[in-house]
Structure 1
Amino acid sequence: MAADQKYIRKAYVMELLEGKVDEYKKSHENVWPEVIENLKEHGVKRFVVNWLPNTNLLVCSVDVENDEQWNSISKTDICKKWWSYLENSVLFKDGSPVVKDLVEFWSLN
């Protein structure tokens, strides 16, 4: 991707299972190197997970090269393995985390 080409920003909310904030945080202090490599190989430039204190809500933001690459991550074996690892801390449905996409209203670029 050319240096002047813009990334697509995705933002969404996920829900932790009750009492699993510390477990989720610990898992992300030790993200497997192959997970990070997989994200980069699929056009992820930046990925941030924020926790809304005193809730079970995570607000995630990711900058990606394109929708196709982003959507293909969930089909990779390492992503499925990582999700399986997180299944005891995050709300899942049909084998993947339940996410609610956010709509961007404004951004200072």
Structure 2
Amino acid sequence: MERIAQLMYLYPDQQEEYKKRHDELWPELEAALKAHGASNYSIFLDKNTDILFAYLEVESKSRYNQIADTDICKKWWAYMAPIMKTNEDNSPVTKELHEVFYLA
């Protein structure tokens, strides 16, 4: 199992909308995440800065990264693009975090 942690960035005044959209996560996207080996996926919000911290565990990073090529992932990215910082392909702007400590 590999652990992934990253930061993402909401636009101002989009905290409630972001939560609402994740509360209503599409079943097809949930299935795709699981099919690509994702589990224990959590996203935390710093309400003062609009910065999101995402943590998930994957069976393989290379396998998980293939989700970016799926239609459902691209559709989700387009859906989320109006409320958060994104790249040209609508993928979220992320800052990868590097693990420095782990206690099992």
- Unaligned 5+ segments in structure 2 are none
Deviations 1:39-84 (A, max 9, x none): 0000112210000121110000010000111110111000000111
Matched with 1:3 is: none
Structure number with the higher helix fraction is 2
Q: Does 1:101 align with 2:96?
A: yes
AA at the equivalent of 1:10? I
Per the normalisation by structure 2, the TM-score is 0.95
For the pair shown, the structure with the greater C-alpha radius of gyration is 1
- Displacement over 2 Å in runs of 4+: none
- Unaligned 5+ segments in structure 1 are 1-6
AA at the equivalent of 2:87? K
Q: Distance in 2 between matches of 1:75 and 1:45?
A: 19
Per the normalisation by structure 1, the TM-score is 0.91
Deviations 1:10-67 (A, max 9, x none): 0000000111111101100100000000000001122100001211100000100001
Alignment equivalent of 1:84, drawn from 71, 78, 81: 78
Percent identity among equivalent residues? 38
Matched with 1:68 is: 62
Matches within 5 A, 1:50-69: 50-69=44-63
Alignment equivalent of 1:47, drawn from 41, 49, 72: 41
After superposing the two structures, state which structure 1 stretch, 87-96 or 72-81, moved more. Answer: 87-96
Q: Distance in 2 between matches of 1:37 and 1:103?
A: 27
Q: Report how many residues are paired.
A: 103
**Aligned alpha-carbon RMSD (Å):** 0.7
